[in-house]
Amino acid sequence: MSEPSYRFPEGFIWGVATAAAQIEGAARADGKGESVWDRFAQTPGTIKDGDTPEVACDHYHRYEQDADLMRDLGIHHYRLSVAWPRVVPEGDGPINPRGLDFYDRLVDALLGRGITPWVTLFHWDLPQALEDRGGWLVRETAEAFRRYADAVVGRLGDRVRHWFTLNEIPCFIGKGYGDGDFAPGRRVDARSLNQAYHHALLAHGYAVAAVRGLGGAEAQVGLVHNHLPAPPIPVIETEEDIAAARILYELTNRHLMAPLFRGGYDEAFLRAAGPDAPQQAPGDREVIAQPTDFLGLNLYWGDFVRAGADGRPEVLPFPRQYPRGDMPWLRLTPQVIYWAIRLAREVFGARTFFITENGAAYEDEVTPEGAVLDLDRREYMRNHLIALHRAVSEGFDVRGYFAWSLLDNFEWAEGYAKRFGLVRVDYATQRRTPKLSAGWYSRVIRESRVV
């Protein structure tokens, strides 16, 4: 019996992803303002080993080298983010021309090497000046984001056709203002947290309007979503376990997905929230629910779920020795790609998808010759691509996949201790070394199939 080919459709997009705060460095260069992560990293105990994003991968000064690297690896699509405080140092008010100039040069460098930019307008680096005035807890931040989005799309929209509004609302709101593990490190009450989620959704809607108004007729735009808690995977594909997964997906995502895809908050959510429900101004529903062209999903792991004795979802605990990567939460559950796509489609009606992040951190070992033979990362990605192929082969409209990440980088609260890159970065020298997984992924791209 022959091996399945796992070939993807013609025109399927293969790319890599990064984020400005994790790779650019140059934290104060050329007029850049302070971000919440710059400030958060100065507080002892917030970041492992006291690391900061001040230098990171020094991409700000090495972007042409990194563009050459992508070209040499055969990468033709690159998801990047723009640093809000680099463009608007105070979050609102005067534009920093040198900040926009950098992204001009970066986009031109990519296009000149045959690489298509996919630009994320916000990937967690809120200007600290806005946080000092309330951050995402106040509506003014969404209004400031509208003006920032107008400036960026207005400047780059003649060359950039693919836009993402916000990256992972559950993380920068839920972990930034809920449990306080991420910048700005606040812990607010349920009412304030729901209001912050609402302001983030409003900012998304404003960014959609910016792309529609300033991005040109061919521009496309969508949100990048992740799941906290992790997406449910039916432990056995029975009707009962699949139904349990649907119920749990609804309950854990309705506060964000319903306003986007159903035109407003569900009554069940509003009743459950009670006095903690978000306050909405006239017109907010329409701004948030503007049609988008796709939904980006960042997927790393899932939770196995079954129908309990009473029919309600039961999340199964992982055995102590269950396979995982070099993060405590990074369990090897490749089925998550298939089920997250299917559940987003069946529960909320999302239609077109990109996998905007997928990858793994492992304890990379450098050989005496300087190579990184990361077979573990290759196997992680390969198994997830097989699950993605299942979704595509069953007719789900998945247009592309972006590996996380091009480079080892500043991994938020983990600092530089955790490495997700296809390319190793020696932070002492800034030397870039493609790992075995980079060569493997180059072949996947070239042949558009799982190899």
Q: Are 346 and 414 in contact (CB under 8 A)?
A: no
How far is residue 227 from each of residues 49, 150, 337, 376, measured CA to CA in Å? 28, 28, 12, 24
Q: What is the pLDDT averaged over residues 185-196?
A: 99
Report which residue type is found at 366.
V
Q: How far apart are CA 142 and CA 126, in angstroms?
A: 11
Given this model, what pLDDT does residue 315 score? Answer: 99
Long-range (24+ apart) CB contacts under 8 A made by 309-313 are: 311/240, 311/244, 312/244, 312/247, 313/232, 313/244, 313/245, 313/247, 313/248
Q: Is the pLDDT of residue 193 over 90?
A: yes
Q: How confident is the model at residue 4 (pLDDT cuts 50, 70, 90)?
A: confident
Residue 376: CA count within 13 A, CB half-sphere = 17
Q: What is the pLDDT averaged over residues 183-190?
A: 99
Given this model, what pLDDT does residue 159 score? Answer: 99
Non-local (6+) Cβ contacts of 237 within 8 A are none
Q: Is the pLDDT of residue 127 over 80?
A: yes
Q: Is the pLDDT of residue 45 over 60?
A: yes
Given this model, what pLDDT does residue 1 score? Answer: 56
Q: How far apart are CA 403 and CA 183, in angstroms?
A: 24
Q: How far apart are CA 341 and CA 389, in angstroms?
A: 12
Q: How confident is the model at residue 42 (pLDDT cuts 50, 70, 90)?
A: very high
3-state DSSP of 337-395: HHHHHHHHHHHHCCCEEEEEECCCCCCCCECCCCCECCHHHHHHHHHHHHHHHHHHHCC
**Could you read off the pLDDT of 57-93 as tens digits, one per residue?**
999 999 999 999 999 999 999 999 999 999 999 999 9
Q: How confident is the model at residue 120 (pLDDT cuts 50, 70, 90)?
A: very high
Given this model, what pLDDT does residue 347 score? Answer: 99
Q: How confident is the model at residue 311 (pLDDT cuts 50, 70, 90)?
A: confident
Helices (H), 232-293: 239-261, 267-273, 284-288
Question: For this structure, is 90 an active site residue?
Answer: no
Q: What is the DSSP code (8-state) at residue 175?
A: I
Q: Are 361 and 325 in contact (CB under 8 A)?
A: yes
Question: For this structure, is 267 an active site residue?
Answer: no
Given this model, what pLDDT does residue 229 score? Answer: 97
Percent with pLDDT over 90 in the chain: 98
Q: Are 364 and 422 in contact (CB under 8 A)?
A: no
Percentages of the chain per state (helix, strand, coil), in multiples of 5:
45, 15, 40
Non-local (6+) Cβ contacts of 224 within 8 A are 120, 164, 165, 166, 167, 168, 296, 297, 298, 356, 357
Q: Is the pLDDT of residue 8 over 80?
A: yes
Buried b (16+ CB within 10 A) or exposed e, 51-78: bbbebbbbbbebbeebbebbbebbbbbb
Given this model, what pLDDT does residue 182 score? Answer: 99
Burial of 112 (0-12, 13-18, 19+ CB in 10 A): exposed
Q: How far apart are CA 113 and CA 70, in angstroms?
A: 9
Q: What is the pLDDT averaged over residues 163-178?
A: 99
Given this model, what pLDDT does residue 291 score? Answer: 98
How far is residue 137 from each of residues 275, 279, 323, measured CA to CA in Å? 16, 12, 38
Q: Which is the catalytic residue, given 24, 168, 250, 411?
A: 168
Q: What is the pLDDT averaged over residues 10-23?
A: 99
Given this model, what pLDDT does residue 270 score? Answer: 98
Q: Which is the catalytic residue, given 34, 131, 357, 411?
A: 357
Q: Is the pLDDT of residue 135 over 90?
A: yes
Q: Are 257 and 370 in contact (CB under 8 A)?
A: no
Q: Look over the chain and give the mean of its residue pLDDT values, rounded to a whole number.
A: 98
Q: How far apart are CA 179 and CA 172, in angstroms?
A: 11
Q: Are 259 and 177 in contact (CB under 8 A)?
A: no
Q: Are 398 and 387 in contact (CB under 8 A)?
A: no
Q: Identify the structural domains of the chain with CATH numbers, from first to last.
A: 13-447 (3.20.20.80)
Tokens 């993402």 correspond to 164
Residue 203: CA count within 13 A, CB half-sphere = 33
Q: What is the pLDDT averaged over residues 224-231?
A: 98
Q: Is the pLDDT of residue 2 over 80?
A: no
Q: How confident is the model at residue 37 (pLDDT cuts 50, 70, 90)?
A: very high
Tokens 């947290």 correspond to 193
Burial of 138 (0-12, 13-18, 19+ CB in 10 A): middle
Q: What is the pLDDT averaged over residues 197-207?
A: 99
Report which residue type is found at 413.
A
Q: What distance lies between CA 342 and its chain's CA centroid?
A: 19
